[in-house]
């Protein structure tokens, strides 16, 4: 199963995770790879993963790969808006364009983690 973790956190926290993983690799410690998509704040996350985009992800997961036109039809949304959302979700790595130009969800699980600042 392909899983991605969506988080809210600072660039410093991401660099700390990278440094920890690097040091573990230097020591030869085995570590399970984790794919993570981090946003600097909750408002930025919510700007990128809107309810409409989440519905788009759910539709693609239910039906499998679709053309943008078919996706817009099933979501009962305008093609231009769906195209904009698809482009952004591709940029984020949450969906992928296939060789036949249809789009599909790239993950089996999208998990979110948001910690309250101390």
- Domain map (residue ranges) of the chain: 3-113
- Per-residue burial over 72-81, b if 16 or more Cβ lie within 10 Å, else e, is beebeeeeee
Task: Report the distance separating Cα 102 and Cα 31, nearest Å.
Answer: 34
Please report, to the nearest 10 degrees, the dihedral formed by the alpha carbons of residues 40, 45, 46, 49 taken in order.
160
In this structure, what token pair is assigned to residue 108?
């089996």
Kindly give the pairing relationship between strand 3-8 and strand 109-113.
parallel
Task: Report the distance separating Cα 103 and Cα 118, nearest Å.
Answer: 40
Task: Report the distance separating Cα 60 and Cα 54, nearest Å.
Answer: 10
Strands (DSSP E) contained in the chain are 3-8, 35-39, 95-97, 103-105, 109-113
Note the pLDDT tens digit of each residue in 15-29. Answer: 776 677 777 777 877
Q: List the CATH code of the domain at 3-113.
A: 1.10.10.10
Sequence-separated (6 or more) residues with CB below 8 Å from residue 110: 3, 4, 6, 57, 94
pTM: 0.81
Note the pLDDT tens digit of each residue in 31-87. Answer: 666 788 989 888 999 999 999 999 999 999 999 999 999 999 999 999 999 999 999
């Amino acid at each position: 199963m392909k899983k991605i973790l969506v988080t809210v956190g600072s660039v410093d926290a991401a660099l700390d995770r990278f440094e920890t993983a690097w040091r573990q690799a230097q020591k030869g410690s085995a570590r399970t790879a984790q794919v993570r998509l981090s946003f600097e704040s909750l408002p930025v996350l919510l700007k990128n993963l809107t309810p409409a985009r989440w519905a788009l992800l759910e539709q693609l997961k239910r039906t499998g790969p679709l053309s943008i036109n078919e996706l817009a039809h099933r979501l009962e949304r305008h093609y231009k808006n769906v195209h904009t959302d698809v482009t952004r979700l591709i940029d984020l790595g949450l969906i992928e364009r296939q060789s036949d130009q249809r789009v599909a969800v790239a993950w089996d699980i999208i998990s979110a983690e948001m910690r309250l600042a101390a």
